[in-house]
Amino acid sequence: MKYNLNLLSILRRANELYPKKEIVTKEEDGEIFRYNYSEFYKRVCKLANALEDLGIKKGDKVGTLCWNTHRHLELYFAPSCMGAVYHTVNLRLSPEQIAYVINHAEDRILFLDSDQIAAAEKIHEKLKTVENFVIVGKEKDYETSFPSISYEKLISGEKGSYDWPDIDEWSPAGMAYTSGTTGLPKGVIYTHRGLVLHTLAISLPDGMNMSERRVVMNVVPMFHVNSWGIPFAATMVGAKQVFPGQHPTPKDYVELIQSEKVDFIACVPTVWYMIYQFLKENEGYDISSLKESYTGGSPPPASLLKAFKEEFGVTIIHTYGLTETTPVLTVNRPKSYMELEENEYYNHMRRQGLLLPLLDFKIRIIGEEENVGELLIRGPWIVAEYYRDEEKTKEKFVDGWFRTEDIVELDEEGYIKIVDRAKDLIKSGGEWISSIELENHLMLHPAIKEAVVIGIPHPKWQERPVAFVSLEKEKKIDKEEIKKFLSEKFPKWWLPDEIIFVDEIPKTSVGKFNKRELKERYREYFESL
């Protein structure tokens, strides 16, 4: 039977089977808003009718500059299910990059959270295709220097039903842009088919183990690769969803976990660390509902995994993916027969994991080892190209495979471990040094909070490693101690030529270490010595 895989099936299922299940948002004024999937569905219908009234047609782009709220979830479904395309704009990009991606995507409408009005004031005159601005928030009048309407006024008076079309599964449903750490951000299109299959895969027990019994708090920003696909999966299975709203803090996360009995969150290691610090500095909070949750973006320190498991009973599972892969590729769960000692267990849990079903991979060998090289991926939710960028498409999509540019090794059980990014490998005297291997070992030291290693041009050796280290509060360690710690595992020529102590390591808009900024700032370091 020919049957289109599209997001409408997920929307309808939540409405028809789980109409009473709750969706909760912390509003911009701190109040808690509650409704259910039945009311959610009616508001999605109202939004679709409103978009149609504004002239939105099949294939048109609808931009969102929004935080994690129930209204943003409505914006995930209404445009896509009526045949248009939602475009989540990363609000942490620079104003110039935000204007660029909106223009490049040709968004016709821009929905923006109330706290983003100031940002829009700076760029609205540069936006070439945006015809309407909608302020997302509670029902009130918002002051803007450009013509706008509030979200609640936009959908008020609209019908709570909609004559949904049967969207072809290969049609575009959503789009996002890479975070732009190298050059301008690159756009990718997510098809209905890809999103549905990705949703099914991450919901599996050996994926993110989604079910109706879950209470899911969406911590990963919804403007970052569909919040790792978690809102779609939670909606499909009818799980209760909790949204932390604008500018969430560790206190917000912890209070919502406690009050809503959240048992599932996913976030980058930096956010996990902030939650841990808050809990250690503020006693009396109960997060016992939180049992198994997820992390990604970079390998979590073993000390962080151990602290949450032993002190709070939370098992943190490592996942891996990219913007171009919708994003989840792997989930790291030990196989049932694997018996791991404590240190072995935590080191294993820092690996990226096993590939999800329906995906295929190969390793493009770059050195002498047969199981080490660049990871190439293909599968039903891997995007096919960069939007309107032939040059980058030819560079990264080769013979039906997507080049991740991640250098990985494969163990005998099939677990993938990232050794480095291709662009972050350090070539010293004709030999390769892995910056990630050095970073991972540095962060095993109890005094070190975060560490990053970069290659800096060297007049004799081509490049030499330099480490940037931030310490745990009230911890002390000197450079020689750090080098001695590294020398226990690595050869002398791998050791950083310099170790620079910093209060905080700079990060990208999605919470990853910003190596590009450090490389630019210190590129003449050895020339100045």
Write down the domain spans for the chain.
7-248, 357-421, 427-522
Structure confidence at residue 420 as a pLDDT band (50, 70, 90): confident
**Which of these ranges, 16-30, 145-159, 324-338, 460-474, has the smallest mean pLDDT?**
460-474
**For residues 147-151, average pLDDT:** 97
Phi, psi dihedrals of residue 244, rounded to the nearest 5°: -80, -5
Concerning whether 472 is annotated as a catalytic residue, the answer is: no
Q: Which of 251, 427, 484, 489 is catalytic?
A: 427
Given 74, 324, 439, 450, the catalytic residue = 324
Q: Would residue 178 show up in a list of annotated catalytic residues for this protein?
A: yes
Both tokens of 150, joined, read 């509030």
pLDDT for residue 85 is more than 80: yes
Catalytic residue at 272? no
Residue 512 has pLDDT above 80, yes or no: no
Q: What is the pLDDT of residues 441-476, one digit of tens each?
A: 898 898 998 999 999 988 778 889 999 999 988 888
User: Which residue in 126, 401, 405, 432 is the catalytic one?
Assistant: 432
Task: Give the residue from 483, 482, 461, 480 showing the smallest Cα distance to 471.
Answer: 482
- The superfamily in CATH containing domain 357-421 is Luciferase; Domain 3 (2.30.38.10)
DSSP characters over 213-243 = T-EEE--S-TTSGGGGGHHHHHHHHT-EEEE
> Which is higher by pLDDT, 183 or 345?
345
Residue 309: what pLDDT?
A: 97
Q: What predicted TM-score, i.e. pTM, was given to this entire model?
A: 0.87
Mean pLDDT of the chain: 94
Helix (H, G, I), strand (E, B) or coil at 407: strand
| Better-scored residue on pLDDT, 302 or 72 | 72
DSSP for 160-211? S--------TTSEEEEEE---SSSS--EEEEEHHHHHHHHHHHHSTTTT---
Is pLDDT of 364 > 70? yes
If you classify domain 7-248 with CATH, what class do you get? alpha beta
Q: 30 pairs with which residues across the strands? A: none
pLDDT of residue 524: 85
Per the residue annotation, which of 69, 178, 235, 319 is the catalytic one?
178
Would you place residue 529 in the very low, low, confident or very high pLDDT band (cuts 50, 70, 90)?
Answer: low
Amino acid 368: pLDDT: 63
The confidence score (pLDDT) of residue 279 equals 97
Choosing among 3.30.1230.10, 3.20.20.140, 3.30.300.30, 3.30.300.20, the CATH entry for 427-522 is: 3.30.300.30
- The pLDDT of residue 91 is 93
- List the beta bridge partners of residue 317: 294
Q: What is the pLDDT of residue 528?
A: 64
* C-alpha–C-alpha distance, residues 327 and 228, integer Å: 6
| Per-residue pLDDT tens digits for 223-239 | 999 999 999 999 999 99
Cα–Cα distance measured from residue 453 to residue 300, given in angstroms and rounded to the nearest whole number:
16
Q: What is the pLDDT of residues 280-306, one digit of tens each?
A: 999 999 999 999 999 998 888 888 999
| Rg of the Cα atoms in the chain | 23
User: What pLDDT does residue 301 have?
Assistant: 85
- The tokens for 8 are 């409408």
Residue 180 has pLDDT above 70, yes or no: no
Please list, in sequence order, all residues whose beta carbon lies within 8 angstroms of the beta carbon of residue 8, skipping any fewer than 6 positions away: 81, 164, 166, 167
392 is catalytic: no
- Section 113-141 average pLDDT: 96
Provide mean pLDDT across the span 72-86: 98
